Structure 1
Amino acid sequence: LDHWTRMARLGVRAAAWWLWVALCWVLELPIHHPHTEPGWGKDRAGTQEQDGMGLGLGSHPALSPAPGPTLACKPTALARFLLQHCCSLARPRLAPWPRGDPHLQTLSSFLLGGLTAGDQGQEVNFTRDHLLLKDGGLVALDWAVGGGEAVGWERGKEHHPGGKALGCHTSTPPILLLIPHYWGGVTPHLRGLCRMALRQGFYSLVFHRRGTGGCPLTTPRLTEYGDSVDLMQTVAYVRSRHPSSVLVAVSEGSGSGLLLSYLGECGSSSYLTAAACISPVLQGQLWFDTPLPPLYRWAVLIQRKLQLSRYASALSGVLDVDRALHCSSLRDFEETLFCSSYWERNEPLRDADEVAVPVLCLCSRDDPLLPPPSTLPLALFQNNPYFLLALTETGGHCGFGLEEGGQGEGEVGGNWSSVSVLEYFRVVAEFLKGEERKGMRWGCRGSTGMGRGGQRGREEGQFTWQRSYTR
């Protein structure tokens, strides 16, 4: 009986797979499966050899955990500490097919939020503040609210019970700044990250660009892809209202263009202690030039056009709105709205050499919205001590759903990206505490008063603790 039951289950699974293949063919979606897709199901060493990653980690046994994500980073003191103490990076138990299919995970992260276990936990709502910018524009700041209690700086300063603050000089809960996709809105993936952060004692704050996420557009100007001016003012404002809290940031998908631009523009003047990018767009021009599968391309275009049409009358005097509304690709849409020198100002990594805080990037090989993994700027991660890459076999775009009981450490459900980035922030904070105990200064970012010239600030002692990074 057990034999026939097992055979019946295999038959149903095979039938479901072929039905899914047929549906993907009709929708013109690339098909991914562990037994047909190159790189799936291979061990860690084989994957690295196939891709020629050259991670510079092979000679360091401490940096070679059990089979898991492919890790790319410069073998520094911080990297060693992270890989020794950040257990979630070593062996994630990602959901298998069908729940782990990249398209199902991607659509779930945008629309459903029900394909990852544990999403029916504590409800998360948001209370909104609007920040008036120097040019008269507005950005929206959504403070997460969980369990009927607001978590913003206006509503209670006490330490979250049972939570572990990341600050090295204070028990004030840290602030987690979340940056959504370029087109805005709070996805189920972002909401799940807020939920987990609340449980761990963070203040969670979602940043909405002007004209997105229901934020009114009060100036005849849209925010360009990598324009970080508004985010700079927002971070400075939050810092002024919450001076004792550690600030960390997470970007989702195309929102990474804004976060990486901010980190490069500010350099050592950034107020952030650490940052993470989930399914990041690291090369903006390449992403806009690479055709998306039709289903995703039209979904993104429709979203962008709906945003533009909402303010068509106000923007018609400065933009060719009608032409933009008739574009059939993201590249044409952006080029219509902005000038030809767009990427000179908006490429996310244009000032990567100035980044002065650790940045963890989580990517998946089967991400259907990003260019192939072979296009990743590996030299950045191999040579820059502040950038770390974890590349998984599966996960889709901002999916990374875990199998039942796959999260570990007492947590229930959720997804691997949320677990990893929150643990990463905790481990980075522990590393900084250890460096401080050794007598190395690390202080608050921004006290040097320096932006893109941050290297001089580090050499003059403000960031002398970071010499352990570059050993």
Structure 2
Amino acid sequence: MCGFFLLVLLLIALTVFLLSCGKSHYFVVKGMSRVWIMTCWTLKLPHSAYMNTLIDKRSEVKIICKPTALANYIKQHCEALAHPPQARWPRTDPHLQILSNLIWPTGDDGGVIFTRDNLLLEDGGIVALDWAVGLKDLKAQTKKEHPPGGRALGCHSINSPIVILIPNALGKITRHLLSLCRLALQQGFYPVIFHRRGHGGCPLTTPRYQQFGDPTDLVQAVAYLQYRHPSSALLAISEGSGSGLLLSYLGECGSSSYLVAAACISPVFHGQVWFETPLPWLYHEAALLYRKLQLSRYATALNSIMEVEKILRCRSLKDMEKLMFCKANMHDNDKTDTTDHDPLQPRSRSCVKPDWAGYWDHNEPLRDADEVAVPVLCVCSSDDPLVPASSTLPMSLFQNSPYFLLALTSSGSHCGFIQEKPGGTGCWSHEAVLEYFQVVGDFFKAEEKKCFMEGSVGHYAVQGLKARTGTAVPRKRRAVVIRRERSVLGPQRQLSAHSGLVPFEEEQNTFTWNRSYTR
């Protein structure tokens, strides 16, 4: 493995050197691309789809969504979505992007200064919140004190919007995620990285590992953030397989979510398909090794609920997931189902292990997609080697749901989206999602102002709107059983400066405004 990384490093260094010789640019690129194709073939990495597009590759982006007022506003005002990432080979190669962004060491936290909060959960478990409080390069930190266009959502203030960053399902902090923290800080956002139990150096205080799409811990973390920062808008971005957690949270909470908007970069929409589809050999072995090292750290504590030694001998991520969270066989199923359990008490996810199919009934990211009530931008690439083909994208969801928007690019790899700039390179997906948050904030403010100016819903409706958008008074999260009744104006409540509070029963009777952006 080390020899391979050394070979790749030498290849990249040689390519950069030869590219500096201007006249030989074309022949160098063509020759080095052929060498790289042979390297991919040797390492059994898929490359047939990219052989004819390695040189001077021009990306395209397609916006797929239901034609609503919000979607039209985003397409008109979000400039990044109208200008896809443009770069030349080797920067556009999907495998090189993965190696540089996901696997390459992160160094000194990407120049970002973090401070950690350990959050104690209801069952005694702990999750960690890493706050990005500044940059080690002070000049870079003050580079964008006032974002272009004067947008209000991302400006520097005491109530800066909080962006919750959810790493991939392995919990690995990547260069891609750190660069997103850096850019978010520069644009006036307040980033915080959510670490699951046992991830990112977070101590495992209970013998429980979080399932792929179990949002229970994230629900408590978001409620804590809203309580501690009631005047700040809450946003969320997931990276790669971490989208399974974010999409599950949005679906289960529905309009009870405290989030204003969310974005998923290179998301995994079908968890079961993702586990059952073999990854390229190199990436699978790297992920498998990382997962085993992570699990072995808590082997003693987890022995009480799973066969750790057997899990560490697995040769696939699918087998590991099965042994960790699913029943071994039908005989064991019967034993598990007949364990002592009070029939009057509800069973939690951790009480009984389901079979493989039952596990995904509770953990598929889109199982409750029809309950999502906040705008979600999904940024995907057609040349992503780590996610099944674009034909598996849930196109009907984006075409019929007023809350889901898909930005599909022809290049970008998995959490890469490198684009060349006059001063160097940047990440197109980072700029796109942060501008998307600003545009969504502008739209909600305009809609709220329009509602007050027109007065078409009457005095009591306006009072209800104030109550729903108030941010000065912390509120308890509503029970899930009433989330369908609260399906109006969920996201806007974080964006208003009004602080009125109305009892929930009165609020239900007086609030009648319908969100125009869902039509």
TM-score range, shorter chain: 0.7 to 0.9
Post-superposition offset of 1:454: 2.6
Post-superposition offset of 1:108: 1.4
Structure 2 CA distance, aligned partners of 1:264 and 1:332?
27
1:71 aligns with 2:51: no
**1:261–1:333 distance in 2 versus 1, CA, 3 Å:** same
Q: Give the SS at the match of 2:30.
A: helix
1:323 to 310, 321, 324: 310
Q: Give the SS at the match of 1:125.
A: strand
5+ residue gaps in structure 2?
A: 1-20, 139-143, 327-354, 453-464, 489-507
Structure 2 CA distance, aligned partners of 1:129 and 1:300?
27
**Contact 1:448/1:457, CA 8 A, preserved across alignment:** no
Identify the residue that residue 83 of structure 1 maps to in structure 2.
Answer: 75
**Contact 2:292/2:312, CA 8 A, preserved across alignment:** yes
Identify the residue that residue 337 of structure 1 maps to in structure 2.
Answer: 324
Of structures 1 and 2, the larger Rg is shown by 2
Structure 2 CA distance, aligned partners of 1:293 and 1:161?
43
Aligned positions of 1:224-239 closer than 5 A: 224-239=211-226
Structure 2 CA distance, aligned partners of 1:165 and 1:142?
25
2:279 to 265, 285, 292: 292
1:436 aligns with 2:448: yes
**Contact 2:234/2:260, CA 8 A, preserved across alignment:** yes
Post-superposition offset of 1:458: 2.3
Structure 1 CA distance, aligned partners of 2:114 and 2:300?
30
**1:96–1:451 distance in 2 versus 1, CA, 3 Å:** farther
**Contact 1:165/1:174, CA 8 A, preserved across alignment:** no
Identify the residue that residue 154 of structure 1 maps to in structure 2.
Answer: none
Give 4+ residue runs of structure 1 displaced > 4 Å after superposition. Answer: 32-35, 119-122, 444-448, 459-466
Post-superposition offset of 1:9: 2.6
1:222 aligns with 2:209: yes
1:423 aligns with 2:435: yes
Post-superposition offset of 1:456: 2.1
Amino acid of the structure 1 residue aligned with 2:445? K
Structure 1 CA distance, aligned partners of 2:364 and 2:215?
11
2:392 to 372, 375, 384: 375
Structure 2 CA distance, aligned partners of 1:122 and 1:294?
28
1:249 aligns with 2:245: no
Aligned positions of 1:32-431 closer than 5 A: 36=52, 68-112=60-104, 123-147=111-135, 161-162=145-146, 165-166=152-153, 172-339=159-326, 340=355, 341-405=358-422, 413-431=425-443
**1:283–1:453 distance in 2 versus 1, CA, 3 Å:** farther
Structure 1 CA distance, aligned partners of 2:137 and 2:484?
42
Identify the residue that residue 49 of structure 1 maps to in structure 2.
Answer: none
**1:165–1:399 distance in 2 versus 1, CA, 3 Å:** same
Structure 1 CA distance, aligned partners of 2:509 and 2:440?
20
Deviation string 1:386-438 (CA, Å, 9 cap, x unpaired) is 000000000110000111239xxxxx742001000000000000000011001
**Contact 2:133/2:190, CA 8 A, preserved across alignment:** no
Matched residues, percent identical? 55
**Contact 2:274/2:387, CA 8 A, preserved across alignment:** yes
> More displaced, 321-330 or 268-277?
321-330
Post-superposition offset of 1:328: 1.3
> When you count helix as a share of all residues, which structure comes out higher?
2
Identify the residue that residue 45 of structure 1 maps to in structure 2.
Answer: none
Structure 2 CA distance, aligned partners of 1:205 and 1:23?
38
**1:166–1:6 distance in 2 versus 1, CA, 3 Å:** closer
**1:348–1:173 distance in 2 versus 1, CA, 3 Å:** same
Amino acid of the structure 2 residue aligned with 1:457? R
Structure 2 CA distance, aligned partners of 1:183 and 1:90?
32
Amino acid of the structure 2 residue aligned with 1:138? I
Post-superposition offset of 1:189: 0.4
Post-superposition offset of 1:24: 0.2
TM-score (norm 1): 0.83
**Contact 2:213/2:363, CA 8 A, preserved across alignment:** yes
Identify the residue that residue 31 of structure 2 maps to in structure 1.
Answer: 15
Q: Give the SS at the match of 1:276.
A: strand
Post-superposition offset of 1:112: 3.7
Q: Give the SS at the match of 1:36.
A: helix
Deviation string 1:317-337 (CA, Å, 9 cap, x unpaired) is 110112211111111110110
Post-superposition offset of 1:250: 0.2
Deviation string 1:247-276 (CA, Å, 9 cap, x unpaired) is 000000010000011111111110000000
**1:149–1:444 distance in 2 versus 1, CA, 3 Å:** farther
- RMSD of the TM alignment (CA)? 2.9
**1:465–1:172 distance in 2 versus 1, CA, 3 Å:** farther
**Contact 2:98/2:416, CA 8 A, preserved across alignment:** yes
Aligned residues: 423
Identify the residue that residue 24 of structure 1 maps to in structure 2.
Answer: 40
Amino acid of the structure 2 residue aligned with 1:367? D
Post-superposition offset of 1:32: 5.4
Structure 1 CA distance, aligned partners of 2:378 and 2:372?
14
Structure 1 CA distance, aligned partners of 2:397 and 2:449?
30
Amino acid of the structure 1 residue aligned with 2:422? G
Structure 1 CA distance, aligned partners of 2:120 and 2:137?
26
TM-score (norm 2): 0.76
**1:347–1:418 distance in 2 versus 1, CA, 3 Å:** same
Structure 2 CA distance, aligned partners of 1:283 and 1:165?
35
**Contact 2:154/2:189, CA 8 A, preserved across alignment:** no
Post-superposition offset of 1:10: 2.1
**Contact 1:167/1:429, CA 8 A, preserved across alignment:** no
Structure 2 CA distance, aligned partners of 1:103 and 1:268?
39
Q: Give the SS at the match of 1:139.
A: strand
Post-superposition offset of 1:167: 8.4
**1:203–1:448 distance in 2 versus 1, CA, 3 Å:** closer
Post-superposition offset of 1:362: 0.1
> More displaced, 444-453 or 28-37?
444-453
**Contact 2:378/2:405, CA 8 A, preserved across alignment:** yes
> More displaced, 446-455 or 90-99?
446-455
**Contact 1:400/1:415, CA 8 A, preserved across alignment:** yes
5+ residue gaps in structure 1?
A: 43-66, 151-159, 407-411
